[in-house]
Structure 1
Amino acid sequence: MEEKCCCGIDAILSIDARGQLVLPKEIRTKLDIQPGDKLAAITQHSGGKPCCLLLIKADEFSELAKEIVSPILKNMTVAGGD
């Protein structure tokens, strides 16, 4: 079975003189990004230098973090009770 790629390029963004970028309307619509929404910026490093930037809705990142951290904390609590 052939695997589908999980990501692709939706747009090329430019940074203006003030260091700001604009997300094209098509992307905002596709991802349901509304005025006032907050995005978490996550960097990936390669060779000790930042190389990639991932933007994720802050509320979704918060939920994802809870899903990841909660079982770890629960496991630590159980292990610590021995």
Structure 2
Amino acid sequence: MPAHGEAVLKMAALTPLMALRLSGSYLRMKRQARRARRKFYRELASTGMSPRDADRLADEYASAASLRTVLRTFGRWNG
């Protein structure tokens, strides 16, 4: 039984580190999504699409990186 208690303590000690690493990964993903959105918008606008439509499509493109969407997709994937 002591080994089980040690495992729980180790996991409790590692949880903040895992949360920090996950947060860093998520923030990097958001930054990349923001850059991709800008690039996508510029490409759409340069081909002659109206700024309003280009903005709307670029927003949809970038919404794939929202935390809510990521968690919803992950929840469906895990069943």
Q: TM-score, normalised by structure 1?
A: 0.32
Structure showing the higher helix proportion among its residues = 2
Does 1 or 2 have the higher relative contact order (CA < 8 Å, sep 6+)?
2
- Larger Cα-atom Rg: 2
Q: TM-score, normalised by structure 2?
A: 0.33
Structure showing the higher strand proportion among its residues = 1
